[in-house]
Structure 1
Amino acid sequence: MNRVLRTALAAAILIVTPAFAHNGVVHLGPLNISVPFTRATLPNAPVGGGFFTVENTGTEADRLVSASSSVAKDIQIHSMAMEGDVMKMRELPDGLEIPAGETVVLSPGGFHLMFMGLNQAFVEGETVTVTLTFEKAGTVDVVLPVMTSAADAPAASEHAH
């Protein structure tokens, strides 16, 4: 009976774990993607932002080359920087480099995903799934919890370890 119980428990853990993937780290080869989130948008808002952290534990640089989701017509990879007194946002047409042994943070006011032509509002408490494509590591789905419209990071409970 013990063996049956252990097998059932192991199977339950394997089934339940993906449902909570947005609370932990998503692994893709040497890349670790963590603390994903997006912000709530107003109804009929044309754009939204996506944020997360990518750690490259490998010995070679990789590059986030594209993102896609059913919630938007297009997703662009953007940077934001001050030019004089003006905050400028621009698309990174060649993607975002993730240097070997380094961590790159996509956050409000910095690098981020820009969801263009939203098909639906981002509602606080819901989630948005985005497919990220890296030049070397490949493709992975990441679930972004929708936080308040002013969130600078996920809620503490979303990324507690």
Structure 2
Amino acid sequence: MRQATRTLWALILLTTMSSALAEVRIKDAWSRATPPGIERGAGYMTLHNTGEQARTLTGASATWAQRIEIHESREVDGQMRMQALPDGLTLQPGESLELAPMGRHLMLMGLTERLTQGDTLALTLEFRNGGTLNTQLDVRGPDASTSQSSH
């Protein structure tokens, strides 16, 4: 009986996490193609929280990268600097969050394969409290910008 109760609570928790993260919508997820020998890249997208609770993006994972962190580029004393955001990014209810060039982005490190224009790569976004959300990054040309279509 005790094991059945534990199993039921585990299922309820997983169902709650899955439905909660289903409230996070992802739009226009993309990355730039990388030249041969480059082991870093960046991922961009817009996230929108349609739910009633805040959701915190803490990182991501993929089979084609050793590590993915959330970073932010900003101008400091006339120079662009990049820093990791280890606490992640919180989306309040109804809020949209843009990950874009020269701003907040996913830093793709230790690429195990070249990012080639036209490829679509599986990516798992990670949220506080262990929730995950699967998406795909469309790989655009090396000169791509946020205004380009991903198709």
Say yes or no: does 1:67 pair with 2:57: no
Aligned with 1:47 (options 40, 45, 57): 40
| Deviation of the 1:137 alpha carbon | 8.5
| Deviation of the 1:83 alpha carbon | 0.9
Give me the whole-angstrom Cα distance separating, in 1, the residues matched to 2:74 and 2:142: 21
Give me the whole-angstrom Cα distance separating, in 2, the residues matched to 1:140 and 1:41: 25
Task: After the TM superposition, list the runs of 4 or more consecutive aligned residues in structure 1 that deviate by more than 4 angstroms.
Answer: none
Question: Structure 2 length as normaliser, TM-score?
Answer: 0.81
Instruction: Report the residue type matching 1:103 in the other structure.
Output: S
CA shift in 2, pair 1:119/1:81, >3 Å: same
Give me the whole-angstrom Cα distance separating, in 2, the residues matched to 1:149 and 1:99: 32
- Deviation sequence 1:52-110 (CA, Å, 0-9, x none): 10001122211001200111111111111111201111111111111221100001111
Instruction: Report the residue type matching 1:118 in the other structure.
Output: L
Instruction: Report the residue type matching 1:148 in the other structure.
Output: G
- Deviation sequence 1:109-152 (CA, Å, 0-9, x none): 11100111111110001112111012269212111110011211
Instruction: Report the residue type matching 1:46 in the other structure.
Output: E
Instruction: Report the residue type matching 1:80 in the other structure.
Output: S
CA shift in 2, pair 1:119/1:154, >3 Å: farther
Say yes or no: does 1:87 pair with 2:58: no
Kept after mapping to 1: 8 A contact 2:74/2:80? yes
Give me the whole-angstrom Cα distance separating, in 2, the residues matched to 1:81 and 1:75: 19
List alignment gaps of at least 5 residues for structure 2.
1-19
Q: Secondary structure at the match of 2:29?
A: strand
Instruction: Report the residue type matching 1:94 in the other structure.
Output: D
Give me the whole-angstrom Cα distance separating, in 1, the residues matched to 2:30 and 2:133: 16
Aligned with 2:96 (options 99, 103, 110): 103
Q: Which residue of 1 aligns with 2:128?
A: 135
Kept after mapping to 2: 8 A contact 1:37/1:50? yes
Kept after mapping to 1: 8 A contact 2:28/2:150? no
Q: What is the correspondence of 1:7-18 to structure 2 with a 5 Å cutoff? A: none
Superposed CA RMSD in Å reads 1.8
Q: Which residue of 1 aligns with 2:17?
A: none
Say yes or no: does 1:121 pair with 2:114: yes
| Deviation of the 1:157 alpha carbon | 5.7
Give me the whole-angstrom Cα distance separating, in 2, the residues matched to 1:106 and 1:62: 15
Kept after mapping to 2: 8 A contact 1:131/1:140? yes
